[in-house]
Chains A and B, each alone.
Chain A
């Protein structure tokens, strides 16, 4: 019995020591991971290797989806098909108009000497997992660096903005949702053009519109769009609808909350896209635009001179014509 007690005492002593070592290791690994990013490569390779685990974890969902799609009745399928083909027809008609607008926009932008915007790459991705950590609002999608996904890539659905890629692994990537407190999005009120930055609240159906003065014209029901400032998110994508505007005299800023348009807990497919600035066509165009801008003073002078000449010539012509008309009318009068 005595021997046993001694052994357990020694064990206990060792347990404390082992726990101390484990705490130290855990904290140092955490510090290295969070602050110095030394382990970024390690994370990239190990997480890429763990992809099958994530796919396996998603299997209940995917299996239930397959089963439910197998048991759809014939009439349901016909109905769905009809609905989709109608939708497709309407959207094709919209696209025709969109193409026209795109050309027009490009032409107008050329006139303004600003480079045209090309959305060169669009990528369809499926949400395969949601990070279960209570402090992180992130989802995992099944496209990674193998499909040229990069960190900071904006992600949308057909409803609106979802967020941006925060970590790209070989075959999957993590998307920071707009509801995460770390996610800040530059936005603009579509009605009053009030600019600002919105940040996540941590809850899946609420975001905050921060640092807006009390006098700013923001009302309930306003649509908030991405403003394009900052360069991460392209301009004009819908983000949220303002749900409440709280103004109190003691606070310098209004407390505005908005509800995201995308149903973040239900979405299954997302679209990732890059405004590809590395495209040679864009670089050429930007270079051209720059040259034009650099020579703008000369150009402007030239243009103004031309314009004046034109106007004066025109004016002179007009004058001459007017004089001629007067003369002829006088002659007519004299004849009478």
Chain B
């Protein structure tokens, strides 16, 4: 029991800096071609912790808060990124309960499809608000998000092992 408590603490110590890095990656100024197809880093970081550790249950709330901060820094309508990120986390953690047991390419496909669906949701909401215009390019980030998932996964796993953060569940070990 004591060890699990310790793990929980150390885990936030890694999550918070990663979220800050993710936020910077989301808003950093890049050339336009890269910027248009920028993967959803924040979602990927939160997703890693959400699927790897079932003990940590507040990922939805965290993604909501982080999404709000992203809205404030990007000037998007308040709450839209909060909704986009938290619904992706919700869909993956509830609809694909054995997500962490899948092979990497299956995980990539799931991440890509969920991101694609939520992109359409975002487009739809922004269209209702009256800010969106149709361009097929808005779906490319779904592909880049899927392609970046293995890298983020490996980086997070390495960081976890370096800082000796035990995030794997009993179920996962089985």
Please state if B132 and A130 are interface contacts (CB–CB under 8 Å).
no
Could you tell me if A16 and B26 are in contact, using CB atoms closer than 8 angstroms? no
Is the C-beta of B145 less than 8 angstroms from some C-beta in chain A?
Answer: no
Q: Is the CB–CB distance between B29 and A30 below 8 Å?
A: no
* Contact present for B133 and A50 (CB under 8 Å): no
B77 engages A132 (CB within 8 Å)? no
Kindly state the separation between the CA atoms of A39 and B79 in the bound complex, as whole angstroms: 12
Q: Are A50's CB and B73's CB within 8 A?
A: yes
CB A125 to nearest CB in B, in angstroms, measures 15
Write out the residue numbers on chain A whose beta carbons fall within 8 Å of the beta carbon of B27.
53-54, 57, 129, 132
Q: Which residues of A, 124-147, contact B by the 8 Å Cβ criterion?
A: 128-136, 138, 140
The interface residues of chain A lying within 8 Å CB-to-CB of B75 are 47, 131, 133, 136, 138, 140, 167, 174
Residue from B24, B80, B133 in contact with A57 in the complex, judged by beta carbons closer than 8 Å: B24
Closest-CB distance, B63 to chain A (whole angstroms): 8
Binds A, one of B7-15, B82-90, B104-112, B160-168: B82-90
Separation of A129 and B24 alpha carbons in the complex (Å): 12
Chain B residues near A136: list those with CB within 8 A.
74-76, 131
**Which residue of B is nearest A134, CB measured?**
B138
Tell me the bound Cα distance from A47 to B77 in angstroms: 13
Which B residues from 4 to 39 make CB contacts under 8 A with A?
23-24, 26-29, 31-32, 35-36, 38
B93: interface (CB < 8 Å): yes
In the bound assembly, the distance between CA atoms of A308 and B164 in angstroms comes to: 102
Number of chain B residues whose Cβ lies closer than 8 Å to a Cβ of chain A: 47
Encode B54-73 as 1/0 by CB contact (under 8 A) with A: 10010011001001110011
- A50 adjacent to B72 (CB under 8 Å): yes
Q: Are A203 and B135 in contact (CB under 8 A)?
A: yes
Residues of chain A within 8 A (CB-CB) of B32 are: 204, 265
Is the pair B24, A56 in contact by a Cβ cutoff of 8 Å?
Answer: yes
User: B99 to chain A: closest CB distance in Å?
Assistant: 14
Q: Is B3 an interface residue (CB 8 A)?
A: no
B135 touches A15 (CB 8 A): no
Chain A interface mostly helix, strand, loop or mixed?
helix
Q: Which of B94, B123, B133 has the most CB of A within 10 A?
A: B133
Question: CB-CB < 8 A to B86: which residues of A?
Answer: 19, 22-23, 26
Asked whether A181 is an interface residue with its Cβ less than 8 Å from the other chain, the reply is yes
User: In whole angstroms, how far apart are the Cα atoms of A313 and B154 in the complex?
Assistant: 100
In the complex, are the beta carbons of B73 and A15 less than 8 A apart?
Answer: no
Cβ–Cβ < 8 Å partners of A27 in chain B:
79, 83
Considering the complex, give the chain A residue whose CB is closest to the CB of B78. Answer: A33
Inter-chain CA distance A128–B28, complex, in Å, is: 10
Taken together as a complex, chains A and B put the C-alpha atoms of A252 and B123 apart, in Å, by: 30
Q: Mark A271-295, 1 if CB is under 8 A from B, else 0.
A: 0000000000000000000000000
Interfacial chain B residues near A60, Cβ < 8 Å: 28-29
Give 1 or 0 for each of A28-54: 1 = CB within 8 Å of chain B CB.
Answer: 111011100001000100110010011
Q: List B contacts of A54 (CB < 8 A).
A: 27, 73
- Asked if residues A15 and B94 are in contact (CB atoms below 8 Å), the reply is yes
Q: Min CB distance, B14 to chain A, in Å?
A: 20
Residues in A neighbouring B138, C-beta threshold 8 A: 134-135
- Whether the Cβ atoms of A19 and B60 lie closer than 8 Å is yes
Given A25-B64, A26-B64, A204-B32, CB of A46 within 8 Å of CB of B72: yes
Complex interface: chain B residues within 8 A of A32 (CB): 78
3 smallest beta-carbon distances between A and B, as pairs: A33-B78, A202-B133, A29-B79
Known contacts A33-B78, A61-B29, A202-B133: A135-B90 contact under CB 8 Å: no
Verify A131–B74 contact, CB threshold 8 A.
yes
How distant is the Cα of A34 from the Cα of B77 in the complex, in angstroms?
6
Chain B hits for A47, CB < 8 A: 72-73, 75
CB distance from B74 to the nearest CB of A (A): 5
